[in-house]
Amino acid sequence: MNPNLLQTPIDYLKGVGPNRADLLRGELGIHTYQDLINLFPNRYIDRTRYYKIRELQENTSEVQVIGKIVHLKTVEQKRGKRLVATFVDDTGEMELVWFRGHKWIRESIRINVPYVIFGRCNRIGHQFSMPHPEMELLTEHESSLRTAMQPVYPSTEKLANKGITNRVINKLMQQLFTETGGRFTETLSPALLGELSLISKQAALFNIHFPKSQELLAKAQYRLKFEELFYIQLQLLIKNLIRKQKIKGYIFDRVGEHFHSFYDDHLPFSLTGAQKRVIKEIRHDLGTGAQMNRLLQGDVGSGKTIVALMAMLLALDNGFQACIMAPTEILATQHFNGIKELVGDLGINIKLLTGSTKTSARTEIHEQLLSGELHILVGTHALLEDKVKFHNLGLAVIDEQHRFGVAQRAKLWHKNTIPPHILVMTATPIPRTLAMSLYGDLDISVIDELPPGRKPVKTVHRFDSNRLKVFRFLKEEIAKGRQVYVVYPLIQESEKMDYKDLMDGYASIEREFPKPEYQISIVHGQMKPADKDYEMDRFVRGETQIMVATTVIEVGVNVPNASVMIIESAERFGLSQLHQLRGRVGRGAEQSYCILMTGHKLSGDSKTRLETMTRTNDGFEIAEVDLNLRGPGDIMGTQQSGVLHLKIADIVKDNQILKAARYYAQQLLKRDPSLAAEENKVIRYTYGQLSKHKNIWNYIS
């Protein structure tokens, strides 16, 4: 069929017209025939069964009945009137009722002619009544394209109010199939169709809108979901291939003095199998001559910093500089101190650059960077300033990258004529299914085991009524010389309320843990940065035993002596946040605890979150549960979920199809990277059309 026909504006479809076209465009984004074809039903109503009036039951399901209207009357009621019809079949009678649109309904109804009615029944006394039924003459019902499995399309209140009901959309869909002859161009290669036993594009589109049976509907859905995910994966994989071909990277082929001395003499503990595997993946990337662009995922405390340091040492061994950029000053300072301690006397020049670095120190950093004397620069956004110029930056490590915008990351690229290798680290586990779609163009490494000697944090859920017991436990831990975090939720809409919660909590802790026996730090968003740092510092140095805070401590503060994390109103936190907060403890050799405090009233989702936290410490499992609860868009924030405006597939529910789509896209590109082979002509054409348009579905038919 001529694909241009599908680009016809929707105004020209018989039954639409200018007013309906404006509504369809505004409410559902339907501009063309193509968009209407790709308006897929949300659900289906099974209309395979016809009930007799005698069989009707009082429940919420919709039923259809064949019969005749034998009588019509108007009944006065307190407000206005209602129109009542007596509807009969050979087993009994019932009423049909309309509260509005009387005149039009009265004129259109034919007495003593067989109708099929459809709707929900109410029982009034001994009789059933169906308000505002869908009605169709039996003769029309038998000849229409509409099938036993009736589709229910996405809609809005405005459409319903303007009379564009599900039935109208169904009629428009029939009209569209009539005008196009139901013929649609195939978009997958014969090889894929054969190997996966997929039905044709034409059959899939017909059966998604007018399914003849449950089985055909399932085949249509699988085919269209696979196709959507296949082209998204193809796009991401091709982007990755092109980047590797086009963007050259420095070749680090030497494993020299820095790397070997560190590995042999300065490693504080043996590397885990996962760390070794990831270092191997990074070394491979650095030797290929293409720019590395790798995402390193690992739970809190899994040893990502050591891996990043060893990658930086490879850069040094090959005569290059390296940098590591963190989202906050606290985290940058922590990386700096940690790395300085690890490399000890290896003769590596490391400096820290943040917003509060003094001018004299800045000048020295700028000079040493340019001359190449400075080997590793650790810092915050300050690294991105134009004044910061490297002699030869070979590797940039970005920590917690979702806190940096794309434009900020791009600035690092332009610090050199050839862009540096990029290693992105995150302690926020991203479920595999989501990572495949959001970061499908990055290579992904995962550290999925903790270093030996780390004890998993024990997590318990306690109700507010157990608070005195919890306080007793804290006193025991403090007596052993440990420190405690108490965290309150921060919900932007009501800062006054947050502040009040925090101050109330602080007051009750002060009463229970009086000075001078106990010292308490407090940190919240309304404090000046200098005061915040002072309070944090007291806690880090062990001068205070309890830190009362809002979620500002979520990322990065490392106090190995802190062994208890209390999360107040834990039901108000998301799963990933609870997991991040728990990661603040369990950093020393001692057993650590996370106590989730809540009231007794909990929603179903809150119960699931608390149960998940007490059951597992596995960040990836937690992320999967989070994805099921919240959906993909929420997890990554709207700015990054652009790739996920899916028409029919669901990243969570259809993850098996997603894996298959990625696998077949990878195999295809291995055999035919430029899609030049004759058998892939269809895929090449479809992909070419897609690349011109942001919306993947616009050209898939």
pLDDT at residue number 644: 54
Specify whether 299 is located in the same domain as 401: yes
Instruction: Find tokens 């004759």 and name the residue.
Output: 678
Q: Which of 399, 417, 447 is the last residue of a domain?
A: 447
Decide which of 584, 616, 648 is a domain's last residue: 616
Q: What DSSP state is assigned to residue 118? A: E
Quickly state the pLDDT bin for 32 (edges 50, 70, 90): very high
Instruction: Give the span between the Cα atoms of 394 and 291, in whole angstroms.
Output: 10
Question: What pLDDT is stored for residue 635 in this prediction?
Answer: 44
What CATH number did the domain enclosing 261 receive? 3.40.50.300
CA distances from 373 to 347, 364, 369, 482 (A): 11, 11, 6, 42
Cis-peptide, bond into residue 516, ω within 30° of zero:
yes
For residues 325 and 237, state if they share a domain.
no
Same domain, 284 and 426: yes
Report pLDDT for 410: 66
Q: Could you read off the pLDDT of 157-180 as tens digits, one per residue?
A: 888 888 899 989 999 999 999 999
Say what the pLDDT of residue 85 is. Answer: 96
Pair 556, 673 in one domain? no
Instruction: Compute, in degrees rounded to 10, the torsion defined by CA atoms 99, 101, 104, 105.
Output: -30
pLDDT higher than 80, residue 428: no
pTM exceeding 0.75: no
Q: What is the pLDDT of residues 72-117, one digit of tens each?
A: 999 888 778 889 999 999 999 999 999 888 888 899 999 999 999 9
The verdict on 395 and 267 lying in the same domain is yes
pLDDT confidence tier of residue 640, bands split at 50, 70 and 90: very low
Residue 7 inside a domain? The answer is no
* Per-residue confidence band for 563, with pLDDT thresholds at 50, 70 and 90: very high
Confidence of residue 348 (pLDDT cuts 50, 70, 90): very high
* pLDDT for the residue numbered 477: 95
Give the pLDDT of residue 60: 55
Residue 230 has pLDDT above 90, yes or no: yes
Backbone angles phi, psi at 489, to 5 degrees: -70, 155
Could you tell me if 476 and 505 lie in one domain?
yes
The domain that holds 137 is classified in CATH as: 2.40.50.140
| pLDDT-derived band at 554, boundaries 50, 70, 90 | very low
Residue 54's domain comprises 48-146
In eight-state DSSP terms, residue 144 is S
- In whole angstroms, what is the distance from residue 375 CA to residue 322 CA? 6
Q: How many domains are contained in the chain?
A: 4
Task: Please report the pLDDT score of residue 643 as a whole number.
Answer: 42
Residue 251 maps to a domain: no
- Are residues 565 and 471 located together in one domain of the fold? yes
Q: Which of 342, 340, 332 is nearest to 303 (CA)?
A: 342
The widest CA-to-CA distance across the chain, in whole angstroms, is 100
pLDDT band at 551 (very low <50, low <70, confident <90, very high): low
User: How many other CB atoms are there within 10 angstroms of residue 306's CB atom?
Assistant: 22
Strand-pair category, 293-298 with 127-131: unpaired
State the pLDDT at residue 697. Answer: 47
Query: Phi and psi at residue 599, in whole multiples of 5°?
Result: -80, -175
Evaluate if residue 214 carries a pLDDT over 90: no
Token readout for 220 is 């249509």
SS3 of residue 402 by DSSP = helix
Residue 231 lies in a domain: yes
The reply to whether 285 and 218 lie within a common domain is no
Of 237, 117, 103, the residue nearest 167 (C-alpha): 117
Cβ atoms of residues 524 and 489 within 8 Å: no
Same domain, residue pair 393 and 294: yes
Q: Choose among 35, 174, 63, 162: nearest CA to 647.
A: 35
* Three state DSSP letters for 281-334: HHHHHHCCCECCEEEEEECCCCCHHHHHHHHHHHHHHCCCEEEEECCCHHHHHH
For strands 92-98 and 127-131, give the pairing: parallel
Please report, as a single letter, which amino acid is at residue 333. Answer: T
What are 253-287's pLDDT values in tens digits?
Answer: 999 999 999 999 888 888 999 999 999 999 999 99
Find the DSSP H helices in 318-392.
Answer: 329-343, 359-371
3-class secondary structure, 255: coil
Grouping H, G, I as helix, E, B as strand and the rest as coil, residue 85 is: strand
Does residue 155 lie in a domain region? no
638 belongs to a structural domain: no
141 within 8 A of 116, measured Cβ to Cβ: yes
According to the model, what pLDDT value does residue 557 have?
64
pLDDT-derived band at 320 (thresholds 50, 70, 90) equals very high
Which of 392, 399, 455, 454 is closest to 428 using CA atoms? 399
Sheet (strand 92-98) strand order: 122-124, 127-131, 92-98, 81-89, 62-76, 115-120, 134-137
Identify whether residues 506 and 530 lie together within a single domain.
Answer: yes
Q: Does 168 map to a domain?
A: no
437 or 593, higher pLDDT: 593
Among 259, 325, 326, residue whose Cα is nearest residue 286: 259
pLDDT at 146: 59
CA gap 358, 394 in Å, rounded: 26
The Cα 115–Cα 130 span in angstroms is 14
Burial call 540-556: b when 16+ CB within 10 Å, e when fewer: beeebbbbbbbbbbbbb
Note whether residue 627 is domain-resident.
Answer: no
| Run of H or E residues at 152 | strand 149-152
Q: pLDDT value at position 642?
A: 38
| 641 found inside a domain | no
Do 71 and 219 share a structural domain?
no
What percentage of the chain has pLDDT greater than the value 90? 50
Q: Is the dihedral of CA 329, 334, 337, 342 positive or negative?
A: negative
Q: Which of 586, 616, 646 is the last residue of a domain?
A: 616
Helix (H, G, I), strand (E, B) or coil at 43: strand
Q: What percent of the chain has pLDDT over 70?
A: 90
Tens of pLDDT, residues 448-466: 887 777 788 999 999 999 9
Q: Which two tokens stand for residue 499?
A: 């502040």
Q: CA-CA distance, 632 to 609, in Å (whole number)?
A: 17
Instruction: Round the average pLDDT of the chain to a whole number and report it.
Output: 86
Q: 84 and 117: one domain? A: yes
In the predicted structure, residue 208 carries a pLDDT above the cut 90: yes
Residues near 118 by beta carbon (within 8 Å), at least 6 away in sequence: 47, 62, 63, 64, 133, 134, 135
Q: What is the pLDDT of residue 418?
A: 81
* Mean pLDDT confidence for 241-262: 89
